[in-house]
Structure 1
Amino acid sequence: MNNNGKTDYFNDALTNKAVVIKPGGGESFFMNGVRITFKVTSQLSHDQLGVYEIILAPGAIGAKLHYHRFMDETFIVNKGVLTIQLADKEIDASEDSVIYVPRFSPHGFCNNTDEEVRLTLLFNPSQNREDFFRGLYQTLGEQPIDPEKYLKLYNKYDSFPVDTSDMLPVRE
């Protein structure tokens, strides 16, 4: 609407809704050798985009082989070498690699090195991924881990293990 109370069909209404998340900013969780920090949240982006900083300790597993039905996932390796499992093969993705995983593409990721791995993880749309990570923090903090509870959380937030007998992010 313009000042006359009429709809302006020809000009954009500009607003400044930009947000700057500084280093160290954002809600963080640490579980099983993985630190997750929320940068751009579903709430902030109106569920369009989720941006998360992930730090994997040496030997840490981010996720076993799974897929999403309604989200695409992108990994940007900022430091170290990330091992990505894509369907039936593993790839070592070095620093500055970008791995785009569209929906229905089986994938998993871990750190098979002796060095820390830092990456930026993007979900599009984000599908309230933050609540998934909060639930994951709770579920993985319980010992022993309840596989049924883990699977229920996974399925609620658009994650589907390829093999439910090997879905927990732990090394045996």
Structure 2
Amino acid sequence: MKPSKENYFVDKLESNASIINPNEGEKLELTTISITFKVTSEMSNDQLGVYEISLPPMAIGAKLHYHRFMDETFIVNEGQLTMQVGNKEYKAKPGTVAYVPRFTPHGFKNDTDKTVKLTLIFNPSQKREGFFKGLYETLKEVPVDSEKYLKLYNKYDSFPIDTSNMIPIRK
């Protein structure tokens, strides 16, 4: 029997696109933040995660932290997002794109009286949906268990700069 020849000069095309319409995707409603999964780790073979975030007035998305194995991109869609990168703060208006490579300390919050809407992109995604689902469970507890929070953070490639000030709740 003759082995079949593979054609190394012709691409095999596939139709594997995912089209996610507005208001589609799994949504988590936390007390301080709303997250909608648009492109998940499962869809992208863990290469990309795209999430819509809604921060109500005066909400904190995340305190200063960094990632070792993924980059994060912020796209501000509505409102003014306050971003901290290192020791500097930036006021990001709609249309702003902020690329935050790994090992760059960053945090974000809404310091205004209007809701901020943004898109977060993680590359690679590192199964980020697990982080958001764990965050949902952890932040529902009163008081928040800081050891459990840190364990969740570290499992999903997030490392707070100051473990005594890492819980995203205003005091």
The one-letter amino acid paired with 1:168 is I
1:150 counterpart residue number? 149
Q: Which whole-Å deviations, capped at 9, do the CAs of 1:45-76 have from their partners, x for residues lacking one?
A: 00000000000000010000000000000000
The secondary structure found in structure 1 opposite 2:170 is coil
Aligned residue runs from structure 1 range 91-130, under 5 A? 91-130=90-129
Q: Percent identity?
A: 64
The secondary structure found in structure 2 opposite 1:45 is coil
Name the CA distance, whole Å, in 2 between partners of 1:77 and 1:171.
22
1:161 counterpart residue number? 160
1:13 counterpart residue number? 12
Deviation at 1:19, TM superposition (A): 0.9
Name the CA distance, whole Å, in 1 between partners of 2:5 and 2:140.
56
Does the CA contact (< 8 Å) of 1:37 and 1:53 recur in 2? yes
Q: How many residues are treated as equivalent by the alignment?
A: 169
Q: Is 1:46 the equivalent of 2:45?
A: yes
TM-score (norm 2): 0.97
1:85 counterpart residue number? 84
Q: Is 1:137 the equivalent of 2:167?
A: no
Name the CA distance, whole Å, in 2 between partners of 1:113 and 1:41.
30
Deviation at 1:100, TM superposition (A): 0.5
Deviation at 1:89, TM superposition (A): 1.1
Q: Which whole-Å deviations, capped at 9, do the CAs of 1:100-144 have from their partners, x for residues lacking one?
A: 000000000000000110000000000000000000000001111
2:22 counterpart residue number? 23
TM-score (norm 1): 0.97
Aligned residue runs from structure 1 range 43-82, under 5 A? 43-82=42-81
The one-letter amino acid paired with 1:68 is H
Deviation at 1:7, TM superposition (A): 1.3
Deviation at 1:6, TM superposition (A): 2.2
Which 5+ residue runs of structure 1 have no aligned equivalent?
A: none
The one-letter amino acid paired with 1:128 is K
Which 5+ residue runs of structure 2 have no aligned equivalent?
A: none
> Which stretch of structure 1 is more off in the superposition, 136-145 or 4-13?
4-13
Name the CA distance, whole Å, in 2 between partners of 1:134 and 1:19.
22
Does the CA contact (< 8 Å) of 1:32 and 1:60 recur in 2? no
Deviation at 1:8, TM superposition (A): 1.3
The one-letter amino acid paired with 1:120 is T
